[in-house]
Amino acid sequence: MNPETGGPVTPLAELARLFLRLGATSFGGPAAHIALMQQEVVRRRRWLDAAAFVDALSATNLIPGPNSTELAMHIGHARRGARGLVVAGVSFILPAALMVGVLAAAYVRYASLPDVSRVFHGIKPVVIAIVALAVWTLGRATVRTATTAAIAVGALVMLAAGVHELIVLAASGATAVLLTSRQPRSLAVLIGSMVPAGVPAAAAPFGLGLMFLVFLKIGSVLFGSGYVLLAFLRADFVERLGWLTEQQLLDAIAVGQMTPGPVFTTATFIGYLLGGPGGAVVATVGIFLPAFIFVALTRPLVERMRRSSRTGALLDGINAGSLAMMAFVLAQLARAAVTDTLTVTIAAVSFVAIAHYRVNTVWLMAAGAAAGWAAA
């Protein structure tokens, strides 16, 4: 029996197969990746219940790094401990890194990227349906009291006002603790600062070691979305080191967005441009390594937090804030993706197919891609 979940032990090969497939097919960014994992792990395989899944998601929001990749690691640890953490994380990263490496090799040779806008016109509304169902399902497990409902609404208001995600999560957790405590006390919340460290301020000749340190720093301090990643990459590789042009950086971000799996594989593309296949490996290891360390250190704290009434309330508040973040991202994605009759139809059909008929999302994405190509 699995000591953490109480269920049967999951073979490492099964963990690897699931996350290799998710890494190869999960388009749409972290919100979509999380929704796909919820479909597979909670709804289909029942490896975790909805409450445990949301707890793991909240734990990823408290540490820097790629959230969906870190969630895969949490799921792997829940099923097979430290080895499961490594297998799930590597399996989710590997397909995207290989795809990005191939695209980087083609880019170096031809200095251009393929036009896949027609395909993504049909895939994006499928992603919207997947995320919408995940928000609905996780919301039922998270918003169980008037307090958590009020916290979720308040978090949405803060996000809409442009408040930083970390401040929203900190405020959500603090509010839950203060509202549920019989003797309220002040709660100090420490938010890690994103101050670059360990690399020189002046431009320097290219070196694999220095590039590794830059990506290690980014992976250690970056909270937030792919837009935050863009800001870090531009500051380091374009402005400070002068190793990339603006156009090369934008192309690297585009590749990270249009391939499945974690957006952090943008680092793989940049590493290949700067140092060939060896540079791609060094950059990928550098940016993802901190996530493995952070998850390994914080995973044991999740169950301890849930057992304590005070920290359990903190986790409930953070869960409500995390749900609000997913809902806010869903609204932003929907405005950009569901724009005409075709995309509205694809999103609606996909939602019904997943919610009521449990159709595999891979087939829906393939159908959406075909519809987008044919319509164009």
Query: pLDDT tens across 363-374, in order?
Result: 887 898 899 989
Average pLDDT, the chain: 83
Q: Which tokens in the block code for residue 69?
A: 């990749």
d(CA 61, CA 168): 11
On the question of pLDDT at 94 being above 70, the answer is yes
Instruction: Please state the rounded mean pLDDT for residues 187-214.
Output: 59
Q: How confident is the model at residue 116 (pLDDT cuts 50, 70, 90)?
A: low
Of the candidates 288, 176, 178, the one whose C-alpha atom is nearest the C-alpha of residue 222 is 288
Q: Are 157 and 186 in contact (CB under 8 A)?
A: no
Q: Is pLDDT larger for residue 266 or for residue 360? A: 266
According to the model, what pLDDT value does residue 179 have?
Answer: 85
For 199, other C-beta atoms within 10 Å of its C-beta total 15
Q: What is the pLDDT of residue 276?
A: 95
For the whole model, what pTM was predicted?
0.69
Lowest mean pLDDT among 21-35, 88-102, 175-189, 327-341: 175-189
* pLDDT at residue 162 is higher than 60: yes
CA atoms within 13 A on the CB side of 87: 19
pLDDT at 225: 53
Taking CA 18 as the corner, what is the angle to CA 15 and CA 21, rounded to the nearest 5 degrees? 140
pLDDT of 76: 95
Question: Phi and psi of 315, rounded to 5°?
Answer: -65, -40
Buried-state track 87-97, b at ≥16 Cβ within 10 A, e below 16: bbbbbbbbbbb
pLDDT at 182 over 60: no
